[in-house]
Amino acid sequence: MKLKDQIGNLIEVNTTPKRIVSLVPSQTELLYDLGLEDAIVGLTKFCIHPIQLKTTEKVVGGTKQINLEKIKTLKPDIILCNKEENTKEIVEACESICTTHVSDIFTIEDSLELITQYGKIFNKKVSATKISNQINANLTNFKAFVKDKPTLKVAYFIWRKPWMVAGNNTFINHLLELNKFENVYNNLERYPEIELENLSSNGDPEIVLLSSEPYPFKNEHAIEINNASPHTITVLVDGEMFSWYGSRLIKAFNYFKTLRQNL
């Protein structure tokens, strides 16, 4: 079987891969939910769902730094990467070891395409269809729920010192839009650094969302935000729900409902 991955690379899979290395946490979770737990021989230290997958012998590094020699000793049939999570150098190094698939996710549609591709590559079409159908059903339900909700101006923080936010051309921004959250940093690309003291003058967000990852924001950081912009409501949110794709999306829309109801 030949197919193009999500960055346009043509890959060839002649037999169902039996030994998988995943360098992306959300994709590791998807593999598990597809029923491929026993095929996962390598993953990153950030692959925390489900927790029982992360054993010492399986961890091959992080998403930006990997142990290539350890990956080679695992003798993978395929390595799974992501354009944003992994560097070009990592992808090229993986390609020298075995077949390498690279995802590139900006929208729900991209995520559904990835699930379909994994269903084909790993001979899990039935499981992939089931996951996709559940995501679509939950998305349809959420769209009906949020339809009459007012649009709220928000800023979504991902890092501190330097302060960084999610901008345009990101999966996070796509999910903010689905929530009817107007991202005040939508005019900036990717993950720009911002000056906290300029928060009110940059679109004047009604709500600041502080993500649990990659920076683990806590209540004391919310106080910092409120000192800079006293009239802004600051909310701690589950970053996995806003940035993990794949099967995590099954849970995400119920989380978004609860978040909206509590605002």
Encode pLDDT of 43-84 as tens digits.
Answer: 999 999 988 888 878 999 999 999 999 999 999 999 999 999
CA distances from 188 to 2, 19, 105, 155, 173 (A): 37, 40, 18, 12, 11
Mean pLDDT of the chain: 94
Given the structure tokens 């920076």, which residue do they identify?
215
Inform me whether the pLDDT recorded for 256 exceeds 90.
yes
Q: Provide CATH 3.40.50.1980 ranges for the chain.
A: 2-104, 146-262
Question: Quick one: pLDDT band at residue 232, thresholds 50, 70, 90?
Answer: confident
pLDDT on residue 230: 81
pLDDT on residue 198: 79
Inform me whether the pLDDT recorded for 206 exceeds 80.
yes
pLDDT on residue 28: 97
pLDDT on residue 96: 95
pLDDT on residue 88: 95
Which of 155, 44, 157, 56 is CA-nearest to residue 90?
Answer: 44
Prediction pTM value: 0.93
Q: Which CATH class is domain 146-262?
A: alpha beta
Q: Over the stretch 72-123, which tens digit does the pLDDT of each residue have?
A: 999 999 999 999 999 999 999 999 999 999 999 999 999 999 999 999 999 9
User: Inter-axis angle of helices 108-121 and 171-178, to 10 degrees?
Assistant: 120
Given the structure tokens 């379909």, which residue do they identify?
116
Q: Over the stretch 128-178, which tens digit does the pLDDT of each residue have?
A: 999 999 999 999 999 999 999 999 999 999 999 999 999 999 999 999 999
Inform me whether the pLDDT recorded for 263 exceeds 90.
no
Inform me whether the pLDDT recorded for 203 exceeds 80.
no
Inform me whether the pLDDT recorded for 257 exceeds 80.
yes
Please, what is the Cα angle at 199 between 155 and 185, to 5 degrees?
A: 40
Report the b/e string of 168-185 with b at 16+ CB within 10 A: eebbbbbbbebbbbebbb
pLDDT on residue 226: 86
More confident residue, 55 or 3: 3
Span 2-104: which CATH code?
3.40.50.1980
